[in-house]
Structure 1
Amino acid sequence: MKIAVMGAGAVGCYYGAMLARAGHDVTLIGRPDHVEAMNRDGLLLDFGATQEFVSVTASTDAVAIAGAELVLFCVKSTDTQSAGEQIKPFISKDTIILSLQNGVDNAERLSVVLGQPVIPVVVYVATSMGGAGHVKHHGRGELVMGPSDQSRIVADTLRPAGIPIEISENAAGALWAKMILNCAYNALSAITQLPYGKLVEGEGVGNVMRNAVEECLAVARKDGVTVPDHVWEAIEKIAQTMPTQFSSTAQDLARGKPSEIDYLNGYIVRKGTEFGIPTPTNLTLFALTKLQEGKAS
């Protein structure tokens, strides 16, 4: 299959590399330094104990998406609209679009821009960029996808490439569960610049995380979303399965880049205000992260 990845960051590069090594024709759209390295040497897929260069095509221009049957949309939530407008001229009504992004409303926002359906996908993978054209995998890698007429095609493409994927009837609940996990970890990891395993050992951190999660659940219930019952157990498991992982927000701040905090804890604060639900813990995490973001930039 001809596959394009819009947003060749850590998530996009990992899944693009996995699909390319399985034999698919993969094109990645990214920043000039990454594109140059990938076109020169290939994409370095680093599992820690083993590394391999995977042959891909890379470009800085969205025109390279033309002809793709499947697009993995992996840009930051802050860039959803602008990146959607970039790819719109180069996709067809038959192009399958997957949103592999944090937050709960990106697929909906992207669908409005493109004028066609977008499948929301929940991502559970620990990755980081080790340098230009170098993606490091730290753990996990499974996806959860909403049901659609195209979901079976997607699953049959990804699973043979070593990408576990589940088709869930409660895609909204799965998206919210992932966002709640992000609301528990991302800001704290960013503020402290600590990985998950070290973070949860901090005095009082568990209570802060629980308070943030309870606020998120209250907002979700008011919004009519059924979040899976095991959400807190899943949050605790993250520190065990990804102990060395820094949140994407922490990685953004470490590089002096804008974060997605407006679409995580900030989203909960806005919805809480709309519904009349107090969200003091999420507000504090949001405000402190914005201060750190301003300082880093």
Structure 2
Amino acid sequence: MRRAGDGGGGGRAAVAMRGKAARQLVKAGKVVYTIRKRTERRRLPMRVLLIGCGAVGLSLAAALYQAGAQVDLVARGETARAIREGGIERRGILPHALVPPGNVGLTERPEDVPGGYDYVLISTKVTGNEELAAGLALRKTDLLRGEGRLVLFQNGYGNERPFVGLFEPSRLFHAYIPIGFRRMQPNVSEVTVLKAPMDMGSLCGAPGTACAALAEALDKGGIPCRIDEQLGKTQWSKLLYNCTLNALGAILRTDYGGLVKSEDSVSIMKGIIREIFAVMRAGGYETFWPDATAYEEEFFFRILPPTYAHRSSTLQDIERRLPTEIDSLNGAIAGLGQSLGVETPCNTFVTQIIRAMERLY
């Protein structure tokens, strides 16, 4: 496995010392410096493992490298070869970023990583969470160090379930990304849309500040990021946006702007929105709008227009003949509706169409 650089000598075992005022002590493998009776623990580079080197993961890796973090990646096949030979590049509307070859660690399986990470970032497709959790279970005891956290950078509802039995709820965090990404090449990601900063926090009541260092690093590396102490509301706002646009854009094979050109597609979008609010009311969930009418007004006139040119991840998956995340989006709404006694014909219909399209690959 190729390892990242030591961030300016952070991995060296010894340093030059002059006089009694600069004494080096080594305890339990950690270096402590005593300078004029004041003890300071040497600050090591943030260690991050990133699993999932698609469009989102590549951009995250570039940001963390730019911020000085030590980054290890889990990647396979063509993606791993491209990163090993050409590094990583982020293009688009955010600052351009390059990771030269040899500056990130690479391994093919999560169970083979070194361990001892401050953060483990999951940016794979939701459809692989069960298998991924099984792999991480083999490294449960040494994957994270100290107060390390696992952060899910994924769309949808209920994505954390496979990981709940492996990690304490206080270690599980989510990040919701109102940013559009497109994978140009196996090691190149393009940022196409920036609707708002990325929101990061906990759905389990843990303080979001536990991920403050990660949020600051991403922000420093060119991806706007903020801590969100109301992540439950943010989750539902993200679900509203994605469920309204992703599947329908894939079915009609159009960008988001194309969806508002037809009264019929607008009617379907409104139906999806109203069903989601009905499910929220029945389940006791909240978001930032009191009802569907208030959300529709803001959605069609303020939220949607800046993203007209974006093509949904579901459409990109369909075009590449890959499994989609429909079951964690509209499919999850339909499932919740069924369990709560709420009818969801629009969400159910688009879910069935996407599933049928997948079976025709």
TM-score normalised according to structure 2 size: 0.76
Residue 7 of structure 1 aligns with which residue? 52
Please, which runs of 5 or more residues in structure 1 have no aligned partner?
Answer: none
Residue 201 of structure 2 aligns with which residue? 146
Residue 60 of structure 1 aligns with which residue? 108
2:117/2:148 contact within 8 Å kept: yes
- The DSSP-based 3-state class of the residue aligned with 2:352 is helix
Cα drift, residue 231 of structure 1: 4.2
The structure carrying a bigger helix percent of its residues is 1
In structure 2, the CA distance between the partners of 1:33 and 1:196, relative to structure 1 (3 Å rule), is same
Q: Name whichever of 144-153 and 262-271 sits farther off.
A: 144-153
Q: Does residue 125 of the first structure (1) align with residue 179 of the second (2)?
A: yes
Cα drift, residue 181 of structure 1: 1.1
Cα drift, residue 293 of structure 1: 1.3
Residue 163 of structure 2 aligns with which residue? 110
Larger Rg: 2
Q: How many residues align?
A: 296
Residue 318 of structure 2 aligns with which residue? 253
Cα drift, residue 115 of structure 1: 4.8
The CA deviation string for residues 241-289 of structure 1, in whole angstroms up to 9 with x for no partner, is: 2222211111111111111101111111111111111111111111111
Please, which runs of 5 or more residues in structure 2 have no aligned partner?
Answer: 1-45
The CA deviation string for residues 179-229 of structure 1, in whole angstroms up to 9 with x for no partner, is: 121110111111122111222223322221111011011111211111111
Q: Does residue 98 of the first structure (1) align with residue 151 of the second (2)?
A: yes
The aligned amino acid for 2:186 is A
In structure 2, the CA distance between the partners of 1:101 and 1:203, relative to structure 1 (3 Å rule), is same
| Pairwise CA RMSD | 2.2
| 1:104-253 correspondence to structure 2 within 5 Å | 104-115=157-168, 117-140=171-194, 142-147=197-202, 148-149=206-207, 150-229=210-289, 231-232=295-296, 233-234=298-299, 237-253=302-318
Following the alignment from structure 1 to structure 2, what is the Cα–Cα distance between the partners of residues 114 and 76?
20
Cα drift, residue 13 of structure 1: 1.1
Q: Percent identity?
A: 26
| 1:286-297 correspondence to structure 2 within 5 Å | 286-295=351-360, 297=361
Q: Does residue 16 of the first structure (1) align with residue 76 of the second (2)?
A: no
Following the alignment from structure 1 to structure 2, what is the Cα–Cα distance between the partners of residues 80 and 27?
19
The CA deviation string for residues 91-137 of structure 1, in whole angstroms up to 9 with x for no partner, is: 13632111111112113442224455311221111001112111111
Following the alignment from structure 1 to structure 2, what is the Cα–Cα distance between the partners of residues 138 and 260?
20
Following the alignment from structure 1 to structure 2, what is the Cα–Cα distance between the partners of residues 161 and 216?
35
Following the alignment from structure 1 to structure 2, what is the Cα–Cα distance between the partners of residues 254 and 145?
30
Following the alignment from structure 2 to structure 1, what is the Cα–Cα distance between the partners of residues 302 and 113?
39
| 1:266-277 correspondence to structure 2 within 5 Å | 266-277=331-342
Residue 125 of structure 2 aligns with which residue? 76
Residue 31 of structure 1 aligns with which residue? 76
In structure 2, the CA distance between the partners of 1:293 and 1:144, relative to structure 1 (3 Å rule), is same
Following the alignment from structure 2 to structure 1, what is the Cα–Cα distance between the partners of residues 285 and 186?
40
